[in-house]
Structure 1
Amino acid sequence: MGTLLLGIFIIVSLVNLLYFFSFFSFATTNNKNKLHPEVAVSVIICAKNESENLKNFLPAILEQDYPDFEVIVINDASTDDTLEIIEEFQKIDPRIQVVDVQNNEAFWANKKYALTLGIKKARNKHLLFTDADCAPQSKNWISEMSRNFQPGNSIVLGYGGYFQHTGSILNKLIRFETLLTAIQYFSYAKLGSPYMGVGRNLAYTSTQFYEMKGFASHLHLRSGDDDLFVNEASTAENTSICFHPDSITRSVPKNSFSDWFHQKRRHVSVAGHYKTKHKVLLGSFYIFRVLFWVLFALLLIFEIQPQIVLGILGLKLVTEAFVYIKAGRKLKENDVVWLFPFFDLFLIFMQMAIFIANLISKPRHWK
């Protein structure tokens, strides 16, 4: 029995290692200098009750060093003074275009409906999306993201991280989970199987949007304007990744665990609508992580070849550390990688709690 358990553990460990070896595709890649296509860009921001964040972060958009762009700011049926703030900015800068969305029974609290109206308002074919609580970390954000609209590319996946709060374990946990997610979607895109992007930093063409009939196939779902669209529309040929330091955006993280947990529930709720191959890929990644730790604990409890078991753990941790350190440097998340064994274990339990919570009830609103 002990030999069988050890054999299963070795197989599970190899699968875990294979996943992280696949992440080398992003961890070891380098930024390539690309000719700038100098395309006109429409930056699109959907804001719901975001008056304070617009005051803080919209100036960073307007200060971008790029010759030809407009900013479409969508007031998504806000109940605060978001619309008034947008209109004040518009008086100062004519590049701002306002879309004022009113709730209706068919599309109440549906961000996709609001975004569709914003896309229709855009005068440029190349669309760059971010959130109202996001700030580009460089004046070259538009330049670096749009640089990836090379011939044949209609989708650009960027990195949307979170601001660092010194001394906060929750902040580090949120940023680690964001880093792990980025490692996955960047790696799979590099390997020719893009499956998601994040609306905090995502670009695609209006041509691609209309070819997919917008969000029609998942308009009934409250979330997924970013990852479900990318999952449906992206291919190995039309998708590019952008991780240049100047292309990064950062947003305000949740400051309580319950708020973050609810946010992750909303994100996870749409994963069941991914393509089958992506559901299998992501589901297996989680299952084999769980199996590794369960089998590891059993083998140590029953003292079955502890030297071999600990040696395999060491190999696993070294491999993962290499990926996290390399990716963390690329995405400027160096300070969170050293706690990865503890965060990894915590996220396994949290994902299980999210799965159970979503079985009981589904998140209903994007905000």
Structure 2
Amino acid sequence: MQILDILFYLFLGVVFSQVILYVFVYGKFIFKKPAQLTACEAPVSVIICAKNEAENLKRFLPDIIHQNHPVFEIVLINDSSNDDTLEVMKTFAEQHANIKIVDVKAVETFWGNKKYALTLGIKAAKHNLLLFSDADCKPVSKHWIREMLSHFNGQKSIVLGFGGHTKVKRSLLNKLIRFETLTTAVRYFSFALHRMPYMGVGRNMAYKKELFFDANGFINHMRVKSGDDDLFINQVATPGNTAICFSKNSFTASPPKTNFKEWLNQKRRHITTASYYRFKHKILLALIYAFQVQFWLLATLLLIVSHKWQIVLALVLIRLSIQYIVFALAAKKLNSKDLIVLLPFLEIFLISIQLFIFITNLISKPIHWK
């Protein structure tokens, strides 16, 4: 058998695998409707860890303060800021009795480690239900808390939400960031529905305080400076204790990076954290990425050399058509419809950047939490 025939059959396998992924794995999320649950009025502690976020707190904290929920406290954690973050927190606390401030001083053992600051904030929280967001995040509605909390019950102790990014017109970087956010959300929502939860995002997630202490907090990965959200969920999530929330009133939105270098450094940190996931999750994510790369490389090669090009072209069109349908429906659910027209370009660009990041991380370690 000639090498081109081997590559052709390999391409057939890759296309088949991707169709299975899009139709049967992602399809479970795509066609799932938001659950109609009874509003939860249980008390909750909203936890926000901030390091040098004075301006963002002024801008976004009012949207959390004015949430439509009967009983909630806001735990503001000042993680050794050197700007006016603490002063801004104190100003809000003077005006709102439900705000609690945890002022974290730098400790040499945990220098620059957000997990240490978060642990102190969680300990200070007085309610069992904990809802997390970032200082630069804005709930898209006044019902954010209620929507997220409505998924807790006797079995569910984790709720994964969607933390999107605001749209910036005529910005390719903005589209790339939002596309990466979209694909990540589709993936972790889908696998959670298939009883294989593996991550969440700190911009919008919730879990029970008792779960945190039963797992001894971040102790198993305290030396890893990132991963206070996804790595912790990877550790404690089980097929039965995790719910997802994707109703549009439950979303949060944050300003995306406007500088490519800053975004690249952020992605380097995230990819480094993923190397600490459970083995089965690392293998699964590696296979998904490998099939993406192989699809484009093999399709390009086989079309260039015109080896069974009619079949190859037909398979490319079938795969792209299925991908378009799946992501169009996902984008509609997650308020990202404008991204679909650039889908193939954004996918190729993103997987190329991810390959570059992987190689770069082998050479040098990324900078962590501010």
Task: Output the CA distance in 2 between the equivalents of 1:263 and 1:155.
Answer: 25
Give the structure 2 partner of residue 361 of structure 1: 364
Alignment of 1:295-334 (within 5 A): 295-334=298-337
2:347 and 2:245 map into 1 onto residues whose CA distance is 25
Counterpart check, 1:49 vs 2:52: yes
**Shift in Å at residue 365 of structure 1?**
1.9
Aligned to 2:20: 18
The answer for the alignment partner of 1:8 in structure 2 is 10
CA distance in 2, matches of 1:5, 1:169: 34
TM-score (norm. length: structure 2): 0.98
| 1:1-367 paired onto structure 2 within 5 Å | 1=2, 2-21=4-23, 22-367=25-370
Q: Which runs of 4+ in 1 moved over 3 A?
A: none
Determine the C-alpha separation between the residues in 1 that align with 2:283 and 2:352: 20
Distance 1:318 1:366 in 2: 40
Q: Answer whether contact 1:46 1:76 (CA < 8 A) is retained.
A: yes
Give the secondary structure class of the aligned counterpart of 1:359: helix
Letter in 1 for 2:20: L
Could you tell me how far apart the structure 2 residues matched to 1:167 and 1:70 are?
A: 39
Rounded to whole Å, the distance in 2 between the matches of 1:365 and 1:32 is: 37
Deviation at 1:178, TM superposition (A): 0.2
Does the residue aligned with 2:108 lie in a helix, a strand or coil? coil
CA distance in 2, matches of 1:192, 1:319: 24
Does the 8 Å CA contact 1:266/1:366 hold for their aligned counterparts?
Answer: no
The residue type equivalent to 2:219 in the other structure is A
- Structure 1 length as normaliser, TM-score? 0.99
- Identity across the alignment (%): 49
Secondary structure in structure 1 of the residue aligned to 2:200:
coil
- Whether contact under 8 Å (2:47, 2:133) holds in the other structure is yes
Which AA in structure 1 matches 2:269?
Answer: R
Unaligned runs of 5+ in 1: none
Q: CA deviation at 1:298?
A: 1.3
Post-superposition shift, 1:354?
A: 0.6
Report the count of equivalent residues.
Answer: 367
Gaps of 5+ in 2: none
In 1, Cα distance between equivalents of 2:217 and 2:7: 49
Q: Secondary structure of the residue that 1:70 maps to in structure 2?
A: strand
SS of the residue 2:100 aligns to: strand
Q: What do you get for the CA RMSD once the two structures are aligned?
A: 0.8
Residue identity matched to 1:334: K
SS at match of 1:71: strand
